[in-house]
Amino acid sequence: MHQHDTYINGVWAPATGVLKTPVIDSFTEETFATYQTSSAADVDAAVRCARGALAAWSQTPLAERIAAVRRVATALHEQADALGRVISREVGMPVKLASRIQVAAPIAAWDRYASLAADLHWEERVGNSLVQQVSVGVVACITPWNYPLHQITSKVAPALLAGCTVILKPSEMAPSSAFMLAKAIEQAGLPPGVFNLVHGTGSDVGEVLVRHPQVDMISFTGSTQAGRRIAALAGEEVKRVALELGGKSAALVLPGADLAAAVKATLGSCFLNSGQTCSATTRLLIPRDCAEAVAALALELVGGYRMGDPSDAATRLGPLISRAQQKKVLALIDAAVAGGARRLTGESVPLPASGFFVAPTVLDGVTPAMSIASDEVFGPVLVVMTYDGIEEGIALANGTDYGLAATVWGATPQAALAVARQLRSGQVDVNGAPFNPVAPFGGFGKSGIGRENGRYGIEEFLEPVSIQLPPSYFETAQV
């Protein structure tokens, strides 16, 4: 697969950057695609076309915007099998899971956002004011590699529904689904300039896009370090930002909780996508007297996480996305062990002959002073920490700079809820409750700014405008 074009103003045209970025199959370790990077001139053209299309698109009747988004969903569905295969190759998630999580879920989200937009309050009366929700303007969407189509969808679909025009820059490590989305948008017949696609690294193309004076908002998902940089650049021009950044989420197990269920679910969350999930529960916080039972459960359950070829239906744990990510995760594990942590699992486990694998690893004896207790690993590594008393457990759960997600396990939902209310996390699951795609998603602290998903995701791209009217207006008009 060799892509030399970019998609600007409804037209595929050669990208004019000087580099070609390779895309590596995370299992075979071989290049399977290359993409020509965009130049600063390409970015400028994309932004100017988005600006030119903004007035007409933002005034397009909502029903027409909804219909356009639904057509995109239909076009994506036609590419579902190919999307599953290519995302699996890029990211390393087993294709069986990728087809469901990386493809089916985001395609469904395009339709779900369309339905939510129809029910949103776009205009309301507040006293003698008419308050309208209007498009924030031209939006730069910069997305990560770990859930590429999902993260693109959570930005582009609600932005389009809000009446914004979009320039998308996907991760250069997993860009294929973005180009396939552009094909779907072309097939859906969106007006020229409403959606534009550029390609390249964050340090060149991303910075040019963020700095562009005609970009009104940046919606970014990625590392906290990159988020800081984007926020600083945006602050120079007082641009609006939405940042979904890192996490170090805790699973807090209370006395009397179902320990087996808690450990199983926590491992499942931690190891999903080989740990390459920002909201993964990577810290298991347990009463001190449960340590031996947790160790036994972890040893038993981790054996079921078979590593191997992501295309094999029997594989449960695929490789990481790159050699660099593999080395980073292994170094963090080694540092933790050197600092006094103990490997319960993951030591001397034979790895597949190829692929950027890290064995599913559980560490106990971890203390709050260790960096692995507070730093995001982004690999299949769970740390187990003990506490004495519920107040100490709550303090441990809240004891990082992040606040994206958490889980509380209690003897009853009521007991767990009482503790869940005290956690500084954007999402808190109680006793294994399922993920809710229409609830707001985002975090506290260094986990970011703003919320995605559901109506909250659409509102992220809207600005309220208050129009004060004489009281007599409302006597003759219905609002």
Active site residues: 244, 278
Residue 229 neighbours by CB distance under 10 Å:
18
What's the per-residue H, E or C state across 241-281? EEEECCCCEEEEECCCCCHHHHHHHHHHHHHHHHHCCCCCE
Q: Where are the beta strands (DSSP E) in 372-447?
A: 381-387, 402-403, 405-409, 427-430, 444-445
User: Amino acid identity of 307?
Assistant: M
Q: How many residues would you count in the chain?
A: 479
Enclosing H/E stretch for 159: helix 148-161
372: DSSP letter: G
Two tokens, residue 330: 């292994």
- C-alpha 230: how far from its chain's center? 17
Exposed / middle / buried, residue 448 (Cβ in 10 Å: 0-12, 13-18, 19+): buried
- C-alpha 418: how far from its chain's center? 28
User: Amino acid identity of 410?
Assistant: G
**CA–CA gap between residue 179 and residue 158 (Å, rounded):** 19
The helix-helix angle for 80-91 and 176-188 (nearest 10°) equals 160
Please report, for the chain, how many H helices and E strands are present, in that order: 16, 23
**CA–CA gap between residue 217 and residue 138 (Å, rounded):** 7
Two tokens, residue 204: 């060149």
Bridge partners (DSSP) of residue 406 are 250, 428
- Three-state DSSP state, 1: coil
- Three-state DSSP state, 438: coil
Q: What values do phi and psi take at 339, rounded to 5?
A: -90, 0
